[in-house]
Structure 1
């Protein structure tokens, strides 16, 4: 993402003399960024979440990892959601950064993905998208139809998660989650989970399903999370927390960025992203916390 931003700025600077002001500067930059991203996507494989790569594992499953370039990662809301967006625009933008939506997008060819995002998230017309992608209106409409069919099919194939809206019920759920996590109260944690809950830990391909398996994991390999601290984070339009595990020398050290997906005020997916050296700086998070006084 950082490389794409830099390349967009370079292309914009080189093309500034050709900017005629027929559209807003924001629209012009978005067109450039879209083309940069299309160029990049053409040479990259599909990113995924662990639950898309194979069957659920067990405590005996080997821990195999994949490079960061293979994984969907959380998105910092501060970078993705402009402060001046109106409520309707903010709602569309929030939907576009949810993990489940980003995962479904990976199943679209790059040009279909761009057409869908520009029309349904940014509100562009088919004519504007056609100009940005050097295409025609009929071709864009056809791409949109195929993209929407694929997205609808993906929604039928994957677990359903609720759009996150802060309510008294969800606030209570998250307060109980944090309290139970920091006490390492496994029984209390498991009591907050859906019957078909999923847990994953990218970059590991292993993922687990069901409260019983997660209960055993937390009492087994997950026992090292005992004594952790959680700090709230604005990530992927979902409940999210920075997890810090106790450090041998005192204080706490960054361990994971946790993104929860909810259903009916229970936890349906527990995603712990472990690439903290790259993720935490994007969210303005420290890698270490001093000892609590």
Structure 2
């Protein structure tokens, strides 16, 4: 089951014009596929910035080699996926594996700078609007932070096979063609990838957890969590956590686990400052842009993007990306003191 279609009516005409050197026609031909190619490269690379580079390189290479495109009924989508996948695999082999602080021991900070998985704005998933309900769920689950982080534990080829087969829905024979390998090699890589992910992924995806909560339940959990932070209510925050909850803050390597560990972190001073939390969606899951009061600037300034993983109505994990650009998630660059607190943001806040 693929996650999209080719450009639709007029594809053959656009392709013919693009081959004749019409750049505008090429843009109209590949434009509808840019979003899903970005999501595909993000899953492979764990980085939005790297994904954007891979997509741009893919389109540049496609434009330069369009005359050599083997046209099978004008279906350019698999060809673009082949270029994008191979370009992303090249980047994976050249760069460090991306991970989360919780992939390492709290005492085992690396001696060299780590590369972290990056968050992905949900606004970049607008291309899923035309998908079937089942395909939209798969698309949402495939950019969840836990899934993308787990993919980084696979070999590059295993990542590509798993995504092409189980997210994009290509059959084994076509996947083998896209990767220039055999069907037997594809099936073997898929089997190994499934085994690794089975030990790394939570029992329920965030998409299914959030759907079970419903819009009202999502708003209530989000409101309670943000209000507790804004009120400096340590016990209120801890009460919302699962017993084995984890809290990390990339690029810092330290992370905290369980009620006692997270309570200790909160007591250490982070809640002595004033906070504002704004709800947003990232990686198909609940997130908050966090703002801390800055006396020198007399404003609440960005302090990170908190991705929240839920287990039922409790918080199982928070990953606070301290260096995230909140404006790329549609959030303001700063907040004034008289801006409303988070509890006033939730009445009309949409669910997924």
What TM-score does the superposition give when structure 1 sets the normalisation length? 0.88
Partner of 1:60: none
Partner of 2:191: 145
Separation in structure 2 between the aligned mates of residue 65 and residue 211 of structure 1, nearest angstrom:
29
Please show how residues 63-82 of structure 1 align to structure 2 within 5 Å. 67=113, 70-80=115-125, 82=127
Please show how residues 4-83 of structure 1 align to structure 2 within 5 Å. 4-22=54-72, 24-55=75-106, 67=113, 70-80=115-125, 82=127, 83=129
Partner of 1:230: 277
Deviation sequence 1:80-99 (CA, Å, 0-9, x none): 45222221111111111111
Q: Which has the higher contact order (CA 8 A, sep 6+)?
A: 1
Distance 1:119 1:239, change over 3 A: same
Shift of 1:283: 2.0
Decide which of 225, 228, 251 is 1:180's aligned counterpart: 228
8 Å contact kept, 1:65–1:205: no
Separation in structure 1 between the aligned mates of residue 285 and residue 240 of structure 2, nearest angstrom:
16
Shift of 1:77: 1.9
Where 2:274 maps in the other structure, the secondary structure is coil
Partner of 1:214: 262
5+ long unaligned stretches in structure 1: 58-62
Please show how residues 85-124 of structure 1 align to structure 2 within 5 Å. 85-124=131-170
Q: How many residues were matched structurally?
A: 281
Deviation sequence 1:15-74 (CA, Å, 0-9, x none): 2222343253333222211111011111122211111111479xxxxx98974x611121
Deviation sequence 1:138-175 (CA, Å, 0-9, x none): 211111111111212334xxx65652314243432211
5+ long unaligned stretches in structure 2: 1-50, 340-352
Where 1:108 maps in the other structure, the secondary structure is coil
What TM-score does the superposition give when structure 2 sets the normalisation length? 0.74
